[in-house]
Amino acid sequence: MEDKTLKRNLLFNTIGNGIYYLSQWIITGWLIKILSGTQGTYNAGLLSTAATVANMFIGLAGFGMRNFQVSDLSGDYSDTAYEVSRYITVGVSLVLGVVYSVFTGYSGIQLWCIIIFLMYKLTEPMTDVWHGVLQKAERMDIIGIAYAMRGLLSVAVFAAGMLVTKNLVISLGLLTVSVFLLCYFYDLKKTNEVFHRGSANPKILFTLLAQCLPLAIHTFLNGVSTNLPKIYLERILGTEHMGIYNLVNSPVLVLQVGIAYLFAPFITHFTHRLEEKDKKGFLHLVGVVCGIVVAAGILGLLGCAAFGKMGLEFLYHDQKVVEASGLLYPMVICVVFSCFSVLLCMLNTVLRSMAGLIISNIAEIAVAVLISAPLIRRFGMAGTSIATTLILAVQCALLVVFGLRSLDKQTAKKEETENEE
C-alpha cells in the first residue's frame, strides 16, 4: 500500500508541478517575448528582474517550514498553528520585498512589475502550508491537480491580458487576482477536508516560528545567494542582457523544477527511515534520488546538443537569443547542482542539522559576493551560470559533511545495539 501511495503521489505531484512550472516558462519566456512585439527582449528583462527579486523573498515567506511541517509526524504543532504562522510570514515578506525594491532604486514600470509579481509568487508559500497538510494525509494528488489548474489558468489569463491591453503591469495584475481566487476556492477548500484544527495562541506561534527560525534564515540566505549572480548580471550588463539570459534559461528551468518535484514525495520516507534508525535504507534512498538527478542532467546535456539551437530558434525567432545558445550547457550543469542543493537542504532539515544549513549559506553568500561580478565581467552572461554553479558546489560540499555527521549521530544507538547482539 505504501508503494502504491508513493507512486500515485509521485505521478500526480510531478505532472501537476510540471504543468505549473512549464506555465511559468511559457509566461516569463515565450509569451512575454511573442506578445510584446519589438519590446519582447526588454519586457523579458523586466519580468526576469521581477522574478529574481521576488525569489529572494519567497523563501522567507515559506520560512523553510514545509519539510519541518511534513516531518512533524508526532503532531507537535497543529495544522492551525502552521497556517496562522504562514499568514504572518507572507505578510512580512511582502513588506520587506517592497521596501527592498524601493531602497535599491527600482522605480517606474520595473517597480510595479516587481511588486505585482511578488504578490503573484506569494501564492506559492501561502498554499504551501495547505499542501503540507495534504501531504501528511498522503493526498499529494490534490496538490498536483491544484498546481496544474493554477498553471493553465496563469497562461490563459496572462495571454488574454497581453493580447487585450498590451500592458505588462495590467496583465500581471489580472494574473495575480485570478490565481488568488483559484487558491482560495480550490486549494483551501480541499485542505479543509483533512485539516485538523488546534491551538494557535501567541505562545505556540512564537515557539513554532522560533524553532523554524534557523530554517527561515537558511531559506532566505539561500534565495539571496543563488539569485545574486542574476542581480549582478542586470546591474552590470543591463535589462536587455537579463532578458536574453532569461529567455535561454527558461526552458532549462523546466528541467530543474521537474527533477526537484519528482523527489519531493520522498520526504516522509526519509523521515520514516530516520525514525527506524535505518542508516542503510536512508542512504539507499539518497542514492536513488541522486541517480535520478544525474540521469536527468545527462539527458539535458544531450538534448541541448541535439536540439538546443534549433529549439531556441523555433521558440523565439530572435537571432540574439539563438546566438546565446552556448549558455545552455553551463545552465544544465547549474541545474544539476541546484537539484543536489535542494535534496541536501531537504535531508539536513529532516536530520535537523540546522547549523549545517546556516553555515553553508554564509559560505554561499561570501562566495557569491566574491566571484559573481568578476566572472560576469570576464565571461559575460555565461559567468552568471558559472558563478551560480560554484556557489552551489560549495554549499553541497558543506551540506554533505554536516548531513553525514548528523546521520551518524542519530543512527548510532541502533548500530551499537546490533553490534552487541
12 in Cβ contact with 18 (< 8 Å): no
Transcribe 195-236 into DSSP letters: -------HHHHHHHHHHHHHHHHHHHHHHHHHHHHHHHHHHH
Overall average pLDDT of the 308-323 stretch? 90
Count of residues in the chain: 421
At 51-77, the pLDDT tens digits run 999 989 998 999 988 878 987 878 889
pLDDT at 362: 92
Residues 120-137 have pLDDT tens digits of 999 999 999 999 999 888
Taking the CA atoms of 330, 301, 393 and 257 in sequence, report the sign of the dihedral they define.
positive
Q: Is the pLDDT of residue 327 over 80?
A: yes
Mean pLDDT value across the chain: 89
pLDDT tens digits, 150-166: 999 999 999 999 999 99
pLDDT-derived band at 413, boundaries 50, 70, 90: low
What pLDDT, on a 0 to 100 scale, did the predictor assign at position 253? 76
Query: What does the pLDDT look like over 330-383, one tens digit per residue?
Result: 999 999 999 899 888 888 877 878 888 889 999 999 999 999 999 999 999 999
How far apart are the C-alpha atoms of 229 and 421, rounded to whole Å? 54
Following DSSP, what letter does each residue of 118-135 receive, concatenated?
A: HHHHTHHHHHHHHHHHHH
Residue 416 carries which DSSP code? H
187-227 residue pLDDT tens? 999 999 999 888 889 999 999 999 888 878 888 888 888 89
Q: What is the pLDDT of residue 262?
A: 65
Q: Are 17 and 131 in contact (CB under 8 A)?
A: no
- Predicted confidence at residue 93, as pLDDT, reads 96
Buried b (16+ CB within 10 A) or exposed e, 350-383: bbbbbebbbbbbebbeebbeebbbebbeeebbbb
Quote the CA–CA distance of 178 and 356 in Å, as a whole number. 40
pLDDT confidence band for 1 (50 / 70 / 90): very low
| Dist CA 137 CA 46 (whole Å) | 40
Here the cell at position 53 is: 527579486
Picking from 339, 333, 337, the residue whose alpha carbon sits closest to that of residue 393 is: 337
- Can you give the pLDDT at residue 9? 76
Is residue 2 over pLDDT 60? no
- In terms of C-beta distances under 8 Å and separation of at least 24 residues, what long-range contacts does 121-124 make, across chains too? 121/51, 121/54, 121/55, 121/58, 122/58, 122/61, 122/90, 122/93, 122/94, 123/150, 123/179, 123/180, 123/183, 124/58, 124/62
* 352 against 286, higher pLDDT: 286
Among residues 257, 274, 346, 262, the alpha carbon closest in space to that of 62 is found at 346
The CA distance from 263 to 92, in Å, is 30
pTM: 0.80
Phi, psi of 201 (to 5 degrees): -75, 165
- Given a contact cutoff of 8 angstroms between Cβ atoms, the answer to whether 369 and 420 are in contact is no
Please provide residue 55's backbone torsions phi and psi, each rounded to the nearest 5 degrees.
-65, -25
Mean pLDDT of all residues in 280-295: 87
The string of pLDDT tens digits covering residues 375-407 is: 999 999 999 999 999 999 999 999 999 989 988
> Residue 260: is its pLDDT beyond 70?
no
**333 CB-side CA count, 13 A:** 15
Residue 4: is its pLDDT beyond 80? Answer: no
Cell of 380: 559575460
Average pLDDT score over residue span 250-278: 73
- The reported pLDDT for the residue numbered 351 is 84
- Percent of the chain scored above 70 by pLDDT? 94
Q: Which of 20-24, 97-101, 323-327 has the lowest mean pLDDT?
A: 20-24
Backbone angles phi, psi at 166, to 5 degrees: 60, 20
270 in Cβ contact with 347 (< 8 Å)? yes
CA-CA-CA-CA torsion sign (193, 197, 202, 207)? negative
